[in-house]
Chains A and B, each alone.
Chain A
Amino acid sequence: MNINQDKNYNTHSAQIASVDESLLWSRFKNGDESAFIKIYKTYFKVLYNYCLQFDAPKEVIEDSIQDFFIQLREKHKNLSDTDNIKAYLLKSIRRRMLSLNSKQKFKVEYGGHSNLSVVPSAEDRLIQSQTSKSIKTQIDKGLSRLSSKQREVIYYFYFEDLSYAAIQQILGYSSPKIVRNLLYKAINSLRKTNIITGSVVLLAVLMSLFSLIT
C-alpha cells in the first residue's frame, strides 16, 4: 500500500531539510546560542499547542515548557543527534507531559476553533461552506470514539504533518508500519461510524461535479 518507494518525490527538498535540521541541532549542541534561539522560535508554538492536548491547567503547561527548554539547555552537550528536531522535541516533551498526567490522556476537543476550512475549488466554495460544518461535527464526534493512542497518531500525522517514521520515533515503536496500521484502523472505523459524513461528502462532491459541468 505504500506508493512512496516507486516515486522519487521525497527527494531533494526533503534531504536538504534534514541536513539543515541536523546541522542546526549540532550547532546547538556545540553551544551556539543563535541556534538555540532559532530552534526555540521555530518550535515553541508547536510544543505549546501539543501540550494543550493533555489534560493540564494552563499554568502547568507554561511551567512545563519553560522547564523543558531550561533542561534542554543544561543538557545540550549530551543530547543525541537528530535530523528531525520537531519529532525529537515532541518525543521529549511527551515524556514530561505523561509523567505529569497519570491518566495519560490525549483529550478530545469538540469544535475547538481552528483555521482549517474546506475550499476545494472556486466554483463550489459556496456549496461547500454549507456542508463543511456538518462534516466537521461528524469527524469530531468520531474522534471521541477512538482510543487516546489513535487520536494521538492522528494529531501527529494530520495536525503536525509528521511522517510515519517520525511518529514511530516519538512513540518508540519498532517500525513505521505499526503506526500506519494503527492509523489505517482508526480512519477505517472513523469512516464506518460516520456513514452520514460520507453521504454529506458525496453530496458535496456530486454538487461540485454538477457545477463544473454546467
Chain B
Amino acid sequence: MYPNNIDDFVTDEHFKKWVLNPTDEIEEYWSDFLENNPKSKKAASEARNMIINFHFTSEDVSEKYEDRILANVLQKSNPLEGVHHKTSPKSGKTSLSRPRFQQNWTWAIAAAIAIIVASVFVFTSVDSNDENAPISFMKQNPDGIKTTVKLPDGSIVNLNAHSMVKYTGGAQSGERRVIISGEAYFEVAKNKLRPFIIQVGAVEVTALGTAFNVNTFNPEKLEISLIEGKVMVESRSLEKAVLLLPGEQATYDQDNGDISKTNFDKNEVLAWKKKVLVFKRSTYPEVIEKLQRWYGVKIKTHGNVQPDKWAYTSEFEDQSLENVLTLMGFSQGFTFEINKKNVELKFD
C-alpha cells in the first residue's frame, strides 16, 4: 500500500526519513515515487510541512559544557574493566585479561584523546559565522593548492587555492548549509526538498540540484555564475532576491547591497577549474595577487612599475610559474628570479 493522504505520508517511516535525514537510496526512491505519482505531490508537500514544524524545547549544548560533565563522570567513576576479569568463570586463563596498569594507560590515553578532540572542535568553531551550528565538514586550501571534495550530502565542490568551504546540515535542519571564502564551483546533489544554501557574507544562494561558481576573492563584488539548473541569490539586508538561469551571473555590490544580473563568459569563469590562468585587462596588483594565490608564492617587486599602465590580458593553460613569468616579462618588460617560494620581479 502506498501512502495516499496526508496522514499516511506524515506517519510513514521512510517518508519521514526522507524529509529529515535522507540517504541516497531514500532520496532516489521518493523522487521516483513523486514523479510517477504526481497526484500525491500536494499531500506529500503538506506532510513535509507538518513534519518539519514540530517544535520541542531544544538548547545548543556547548562542547565546553559537554566536556565538563564528561570530566566529572570520569572522575567519579572507576576506570572500565574488561569482562574477562572476574565475571566469567570459564575464562580461567588470566592471560585474557590485560594487566591492571595497562588498563589505566588505555583509560588515560582515551581521556587525552577526548580532550584533544574537544579542543580541536572548540578551535575550529571559533571563527565560524554561526558558532552553534555543528561543523560536519570543512576543507581549507592554502595558496597554490586546488582540490575537489565531496560533501556529506554527495555534492561535489571544486575548491580553488586560498579558499575554504564549511558544510553543516543535520537531521533536523531540513536544509543543507554551506559557508565559503575564496572561490568554489559547486555541483549540488539533487534533493528537491532539502535546499542547499550557500552563505557568503550578506548574500545567500539557494540551490536545488545545480552547478554554479561562487567567487568571493573581490570582497566588494561577489559573483555567482550559474552553469545549469536554477539558483536564487538573496541579499539579506535589502531582502532582494534574484533568480538565475543558466548562463546568468549575479553580482552582489557590497557598497549598496544591490544584486545585479548579467551574462557571463563560461570559459573565463570556469578557467581555474581547468587549470587555465586567465587575465583579462588585469591591473598590476590583480596580476600579482592572482599569481601568488595560484602558485602559492610570495612576490616582491623591485624597480619602477607603472601600475596604472597595466591592463594585462592573457591565458596560460597548465603552465609553470617560470613559463608564465618568462612570457609576461617579455611583453611587460621585467626580469625575474624564483627562489623556492619567493619570487622577485625586477623592472628597469
Our verdict on whether A and B bind, yes or no, reads: yes
- B interface, over-half SS: mixed
Chain B residues whose CB sits within 8 angstroms of the CB of A44 once the complex forms: 61, 66, 69-70
Q: When A118-B49, A158-B51 are in contact, do A125 and B25 touch as well, CB less than 8 Å? A: no
In the assembled complex, the CB of A171 is this many whole angstroms from the nearest CB of chain B, namely 16
Chain A residues whose CB sits within 8 angstroms of the CB of B51 once the complex forms: 158
Q: Does B338 contact A (CB under 8 A)?
A: no
Q: Does A94 contact B (CB under 8 A)?
A: no
In angstroms, Cα B20 to Cα A65, docked, is 27
Q: Does A135 contact B (CB under 8 A)?
A: yes
Q: Does B287 contact A (CB under 8 A)?
A: no
Interface residues of A in 68-106 (CB under 8 A from B): 69-70, 73-74, 76-77
Chain B residues whose CB sits within 8 angstroms of the CB of A202 once the complex forms: 42, 46
Asked whether A116 lies within 8 Å of B53 as measured between CB atoms, the reply is yes
Chain B residues whose CB sits within 8 angstroms of the CB of A121 once the complex forms: 192-193, 195, 208
Asked whether A3 lies within 8 Å of B3 as measured between CB atoms, the reply is yes
Interface residues of B in 130-185 (CB under 8 A from A): 133, 171-175
Query: CB within 8 A of B82: which of A3, A31, A112?
Result: A31
Query: CB within 8 A of B6: which of A30, A40, A48, A191?
Result: A191
Interface residues of B in 56-95 (CB under 8 A from A): 56-59, 61, 66, 69-70, 72-73, 76-83, 85, 87
The total of interchain contacts (Cβ-Cβ below 8 angstroms) comes to 223
Interface residues of B in 1-30 (CB under 8 A from A): 1-3, 6-8, 10-14, 16-17, 20-21, 23, 25-26, 29
Asked whether A9 lies within 8 Å of B26 as measured between CB atoms, the reply is yes
In the assembled complex, the CB of B320 is this many whole angstroms from the nearest CB of chain A, namely 42
Report A's interface with B, CB cutoff 8 A.
Answer: 1-4, 7, 9-13, 28-34, 36-37, 40-41, 44-45, 48-49, 52-53, 62, 65-66, 69-70, 73-74, 76-77, 107, 109-123, 125-126, 132, 135-136, 139-140, 143, 154-155, 157-159, 161, 163-164, 180, 183-184, 187-188, 190-191, 197-198, 201-202, 204-205, 208
